[in-house]
Chain A
Amino acid sequence: MSSQTKGITSEASQPYKETFSLGKFIRTNGAQLGILGVFFGLWIVFIVSAPNTFLSSRIYFAFMSTIPFFAIMAIPLTMVVIAGEMDLSFPSIMAMGMVAFSFAYNATETSIESVSMRVILAFVVALLAGAIIGGLNGLIIVKFGIPSLVATIGTQFFWRGAVLVLTQGANYTLSYIKETFLYSVLVGKIGGYFPMQMVWLIVIAILGWVLLNRHKFGAHIYLIGDNAQSAQLMGVNTGRTRIQAFILVGLLSAFAGVVASFHVAYFWPSLGEGLLLRTLASVFLGGTSVFGGVGTILGTFLGAFIIGAIEAATVAVGLTGFWTQLIYGLIIVLSVIMHTYLGKRAG
């Protein structure tokens, strides 16, 4: 063992073996199993009630093309919520990232010839802008001690306002991106079917899982959300870790903004509006606790697909679109009740 471990010398060391028991497995993974149950349960309901729609692959490619726009943001947002914080500004960051993109693209008109290169550079600038705005959120929250819910209500308005002022509220086409390399990398279709944004979502979800479960950053996120004072007493830099989490949300919101805009090759200054509650709902549906300390990436991932599928499903099942929100509400409330119940039993 390492030099650190000499504190206690072990006698007759019997190596630790993890014993598997089904009961324990269910208790410790209750939230994830619960959301898996909801996911497959709803899926079966959808298939039974609208077999023509849900037994063909078309609907799934449609889901995989639109759900990633908010699911990508829901991954880092999960970390922020686990840390006991909240971020409501990410839809505005999506739009602000695209404003930065357009400014960078236009600024390089004379200096760089290749459109592909200009788009890649603009993409990097957009990510940078998102990360900086996220970092500012974190700084405001940590340095001034302002509750993140309140702070990000403020920055949400501020950055949406900045988008409107900088673009004068104009929407414009991004048709030039269609021929570029980045377009096919971000929103192309593999084999003409499988959307690249889904690949990015999977990559981000896997990286997010590693970061949250197999990295110090994630360990500290859980500890801060669970008991911030304990974390601080044990030498965790709670301020820096929280700022990093907000930077991640900013970065990936800008990324999602670029992906969503590329998908339609158009910029709307209202980009991201309407995604706020869907993204938050994915996180909470997935079993992340608003009180912090509890949450999983898998839960959020499934939550996003449930949220994304309900809208199409209500119509396919034969109900009018008016039913969508009612069913959203019902499933969210029931799932959160389920998670609270499972959370109490977790030992």
Chain B
Amino acid sequence: MDYRLELRNVSKSFGEVQALEDVNFQLGQNEVVGLLGDNGAGKSTLIKILTGYYQPTSGEILFNGQKVDHLTVPKARQLGVETVYQERALAELQTLWRNIFLGRELKNKWGLLDVQRMKEETYRLMNQSMGFTSSAVDPNSRVGTFSGGEKQGVAIVRALYFDAEIIILDEPTMGLSLKETAKMVNFVLGIKKAGKSAIFIDHNVLHVYNVADRVVVIDRGRIAGEFMTNNITLDKLMDKMIRVAETSSLD
């Protein structure tokens, strides 16, 4: 069976800085892969290549076994990649409904925005499906007034609404309360149950270990190793992570 998503020998450099070097990465069908690595290891660069934000300097990107040339953000979204960014990618002065449909506004038959339908959908998703009941979370309220968890909810709904096949979560638990973090972890388990694939990036080894089928460790722009989570104990994984950070080798 083809991989849902595959990177072959991908390198990316920004001028003199080599951010990724000869990276081979696979995401299977209905697989949750955890991506671990220190700050500056290249995790963010890797996902920004998968989402079409950066073009790789060299190497190939394949979706379902098909090579895709010149991946752009709209193209990646068409292929079913949705990302919950670390920086959440929100426009804080704008209303909730505008943020939910950012970059993919619904139009009516005259080619104009279907504002009413976007507001209805926003209400259905945020208030009914996601269960945000606070009166502050209204389709017309500005996202800048939301709490961290509510903002994360906006980013998640955006990923879900458009029926993504591959969901990339970049540090999704950052800045969240304990309760919100538990909700987040449940959400990732839900992705798995729904038969979709996900890439989960986090600093917290524990969060990743609990939800991922496989963990890929990235260090200084290279893949340092990978483990199936059911073949390794959490303690051992922690040891390996510390060793990588100190010696840049897993063993």
Contact surface of A with B, Cβ cutoff 8 Å: 1-2, 4-8, 10-16, 18, 24, 28, 210, 213-216, 219-220, 222-223, 226-227, 229-236, 293-294, 346-347
- A13 and B128 within 8 A (CB): yes
Set of chain B residues within 8 Å of A24, measured between Cβ atoms: 140
B161: Cβ under 8 A from any A Cβ:
yes
- Can you sample 18 A-B contacts with CB below 8 Å? A1-B121, A4-B161, A8-B129, A10-B124, A13-B128, A28-B140, A214-B113, A216-B107, A222-B91, A227-B91, A230-B87, A230-B102, A233-B73, A234-B73, A234-B102, A235-B52, A235-B103, A347-B136
B186: Cβ under 8 A from any A Cβ:
no
A234 CA / B89 CA spacing, docked (Å): 7
A293 CA / B92 CA spacing, docked (Å): 9
- A222 and B120 within 8 A (CB): no
Secondary structure class of chain B's binding surface, majority of residues:
loop
- A235 and B72 within 8 A (CB): yes
Interface 0/1 of B120-159, CB less than 8 Å to A: 1111110011000000100111100100000000000110
Q: Smallest Cβ distance from B210 to chain A, in angstroms?
A: 24
Set of chain B residues within 8 Å of A215, measured between Cβ atoms: 111-113
Set of chain A residues within 8 Å of B77, measured between Cβ atoms: 235
- A347 and B141 within 8 A (CB): yes
* Most chain B Cβ neighbours within 10 Å, of A14, A18, A24, A235: A235
- A223 and B94 within 8 A (CB): yes
A6 CA / B121 CA spacing, docked (Å): 11
User: Do A293 and B72 form a contact, CB below 8 Å, given A8-B160, A16-B124, A234-B103?
Assistant: no
- A226 and B161 within 8 A (CB): no
User: Do A229 and B89 form a contact, CB below 8 Å, given A18-B140, A235-B104?
Assistant: yes
* Most chain A Cβ neighbours within 10 Å, of B91, B94, B128: B91
- A232 and B53 within 8 A (CB): yes
- A223 and B123 within 8 A (CB): no
Set of chain B residues within 8 Å of A234, measured between Cβ atoms: 73, 89, 102-104, 158
A210 CA / B115 CA spacing, docked (Å): 12
B214: Cβ under 8 A from any A Cβ:
no
A229 CA / B74 CA spacing, docked (Å): 15
A236 CA / B157 CA spacing, docked (Å): 18
Within 8 A of A (CB), among B89-119: 89-94, 98, 101-107, 111-113, 115, 119
Set of chain B residues within 8 Å of A16, measured between Cβ atoms: 119-120, 122-124, 139
Q: Smallest Cβ distance from A45 to chain B, in angstroms?
A: 32
- B113 and A233 within 8 A (CB): no
Q: Smallest Cβ distance from A182 to chain B, in angstroms?
A: 30
- B120 and A15 within 8 A (CB): yes
B88, B103, B107, B124: the one within 8 Å of A236 (CB): B103
Set of chain A residues within 8 Å of B119, measured between Cβ atoms: 16, 18
Q: Smallest Cβ distance from A341 to chain B, in angstroms?
A: 16
B2: Cβ under 8 A from any A Cβ:
no
Q: Smallest Cβ distance from B22 to chain A, in angstroms?
A: 26
B85, B161, B163: the one within 8 Å of A233 (CB): B85
Set of chain A residues within 8 Å of B115, measured between Cβ atoms: 214
Nearest opposing residue in chain A for B163, CB measure: A7
Set of chain B residues within 8 Å of A1, measured between Cβ atoms: 121
A15, A214, A231, A347: the one within 8 Å of B102 (CB): A231
Set of chain B residues within 8 Å of A346, measured between Cβ atoms: 142
Set of chain A residues within 8 Å of B124, measured between Cβ atoms: 8, 10, 13, 16
A346 CA / B51 CA spacing, docked (Å): 34
A222 CA / B106 CA spacing, docked (Å): 16
- A233 and B51 within 8 A (CB): yes
B162: Cβ under 8 A from any A Cβ:
yes
Which 7 pairs from chain A and chain B are nearest by CB?
A16-B123, A235-B73, A234-B103, A226-B91, A230-B89, A293-B93, A233-B89
Set of chain B residues within 8 Å of A12, measured between Cβ atoms: 128
Nearest opposing residue in chain B for A216, CB measure: B105
- A11 and B128 within 8 A (CB): yes
B164: Cβ under 8 A from any A Cβ:
yes
Set of chain B residues within 8 Å of A293, measured between Cβ atoms: 91, 93-94
Set of chain A residues within 8 Å of B103, measured between Cβ atoms: 220, 223, 231, 234-236
Q: Smallest Cβ distance from A73 to chain B, in angstroms?
A: 25
Set of chain A residues within 8 Å of B90, measured between Cβ atoms: 227, 230
